[in-house]
């Protein structure tokens, strides 16, 4: 696992431990909190045009960054509590996706993998 990711997880764990919050961090609670934060990301884009979403002003960009960070913290915490190495899990998932979405068939297409059969 990347050193900066390990350091971040360690910092999050320290933050949680200092506040005695592990008692509240069941996988269910963390998953629900992560989704709430993800919804707060979506809220910033809700009524924007596609073009506007690509040209965020600095204030909105900072707010979106904070919500993404909240989502990321809960994701990392959930993986930690469940004993999942996110780097390993992501590498494995990309391997599966490469098989489900072969580049020669999926290039430029947004079709679901079942359409390639």
For residue 12, the Cα-to-chain-centroid distance in whole angstroms is 15
Give me the domains of the chain, ranges plus CATH numbers: 3-103 (1.10.287.1080)
Under 8 Å CB-to-CB from 30, ≥6 apart: which residues? 74, 77, 78, 81
> Is the pLDDT confidence value at 116 over 90?
no
Read off the pLDDT of residues 20-58 as tens digits, 9 standing for 90 and up: 999 999 999 999 999 999 999 999 999 999 999 999 999
For residue 70, what are the CA distances in angstroms to 33, 38, 60, 61? Answer: 9, 8, 15, 14
E strands of the chain, at which residues? none
- Work out the average pLDDT over 72-96: 97
pLDDT of residue 114: 87
């Amino acid at each position: 696992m990347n050193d900066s990711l390990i350091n971040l997880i360690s910092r999050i764990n320290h933050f949680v431990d200092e506040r005695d919050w592990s008692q509240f961090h069941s996988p269910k609670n963390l998953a629900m909190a992560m989704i709430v934060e993800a919804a707060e990301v979506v809220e910033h884009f809700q009524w924007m045009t596609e073009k506007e979403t690509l040209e965020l002003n600095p204030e909105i960009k900072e707010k979106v960054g904070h919500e993404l960070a909240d989502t990321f913290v809960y994701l990392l915490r959930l993986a930690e509590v469940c004993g999942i190495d996110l780097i390993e899990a992501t590498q494995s998932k990309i391997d599966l996706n490469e098989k489900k979405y072969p580049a020669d068939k999926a290039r430029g297409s947004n079709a679901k993998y079942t359409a390639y059969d």
